Structure 1
Amino acid sequence: MREMAIKLVLFCLCFWRLDDVSGQEIKLLKSGDSVTLKSGLTEMKDDDEIQWRFAKEKTPLAEILKQVGNLTVYGDVLDGRFRDRLKLDHQTGSLTITDIRMEHTGLYELETKSVMKRFFLNIFDEISMKDGDSVTLNSDLTEMKDDDVIQWRFGNENTLLAEINKQTDSMTVYEDVLDGRFRNRLKLNNQTGSLTITNTTTEHAGAYALDINNERKMFLLAVYDEISVKEGDSLTINSGRTEITTGEMFFWLYMNEIALIARTKQWDDNITVYDDVLDGRFRDRLKLDDQTGSLTIRNITTQHAGRYVLLKERGLFKALSVSVYGK
């Protein structure tokens, strides 16, 4: 059973880069969500010190010094992107970020006298589309600056689709690339740099990259197939590959509640299944084929119904909507 409706899944994902940072916890979030980065403490001691940093710029976000009774939140750093969004728990030291936006994507660090923890936040938007509709990939800029350079690229080959160079006052759309699949479909906003794709079809599914002054954001356009499974059965979602080549990394996501459930990293034969996420609903049910990257869900129940996505680095391999019917 195949559904030809198009769902646009816009991520800010760089998973192949995330695995380079050891010991971090990956958080997948939608724009507007709130997230609590847990310190792991139930209660701070009298001599505890805690500092939270936004790791890219090593910018302090919040700190607690229990000895002097000091609790500080730095909401105005980085041009105020965290203003009125940070809440620090004075008992546990956990940090909550509210109303998440794309500009909050990145690595966060917690440092205490004895512990260092890292969290990576990925933020995306999800939009349901029908075949033939238009979609706008937002740059998140309200207005470009005089020295901004923006480039939009598509696919694993990083094919250039459009670019704006404010320094030279030039704006170009490359509609005839990739056998003309984008011809007469691209519209570039010269004020914000956002890209609109009109009259979308399945051939426009895939990975999109936005480079702003050498900083990259990732977007994915996914086409969901549909399948029905009987409760209690096993479901194997094929990767479409007979063998994973050296250096490839696969990531399986459960999109209904935004969770990374499995991944493979071929250069060190590292296969990981995250079956304790989402209160353990996948516990002892997931099996990842280390040869093909295919994912099997055993003894499936209605709570496993939903949307699954397989990502391969910058590319999209599978997007499947699973429904489960009773025995």
Structure 2
Amino acid sequence: MRVWAEQSVTLSSGVSELKNDDQIQWKFGYGDTLIAEINKQTNRFSVFDDVLGGRFRNRLKLDNKTGSLTITDTTVEHAGVYKLQTNNEINTVKQMVRAFKEVSVTKGNSVTLSSGVTDMMDDDQIQWKFGEDWWFSSEYTLIAEVNITQIKFSVFDKVLFGRFSDRLKLDIKTGSLTITNTTVEYKGDYKLQTNYIDFTFRLIVCDEISVMEGDSVTMNSDPTKLNKYDQIEWRFGDEDTLIAEITKQTNRFSVFDDVLDGRFRDRLKLDNKTGSLTITDTRAEHAGVYELRFDYVRKRSFILTVGTAELILVDGSADMKLY
């Protein structure tokens, strides 16, 4: 069974209605941890969502009529083997979780892509693959691998002409992958594949820009002159909100400064020649991730931080403190 992360999944008990003497137990993982139980004879319906570090907390729902179990808001740590024991019969359900997540890192910093596993089991296998295509390309290159059965932990940092040379670190306990000293050539899709997980991380490597509150800041588009067919978008925040757009072919130059409750109102300026974006009179609410897209493909990303200054009088003299 496959499910996308953050969705709900129902594991069927296989019966349309429980009988008066039925007993059902739902167990999870190699340790057969009890997570839900029904005893019709005593009219007992129980979920044990605080086990295993609380990974199922507020996520388990039992159907009192059928005994089926629903897991809401799934994450990668809910992938694995579920066992249903009905009276004396045991059935096994293997649940595969698929997921996609964007991760941002400032250029030069390290970033860890989590496997979602707290402690690997004896037969766990993990593969990390990298693809440059932003549109879910099938062309992925193996860059790291864990095989617990063979006690094998490998990084393949010489592939892709040594792009990842000395930059990959595997956590031998969890299988999580760390990329150190990131540059823009590391942006792309990282696919995590395990026994029960198919997870894609889209890594965005950002330039960091700092500005003092009240000042202006310009994010450069790169080219010194736009071509006549160029299409440019500037987007902001987790929701990729469109805040500015250029379509050279129709000579259209637009800023959308009333979005997000008007936080950018009268503050956005587009350079009609280069496509660079300036924010004037910056405030803390303008801090965050900005994306520049050329022809609908992400070209550059920026993390903007906005600092403040406080004037403190010490023994009659002024001292400026920055935040």
Higher relative contact order (CA 8 A, sep 6+): 1
Relative to the length of structure 1, the TM-score reads 0.45
Structure exhibiting the larger radius of gyration computed from Cα positions: 2
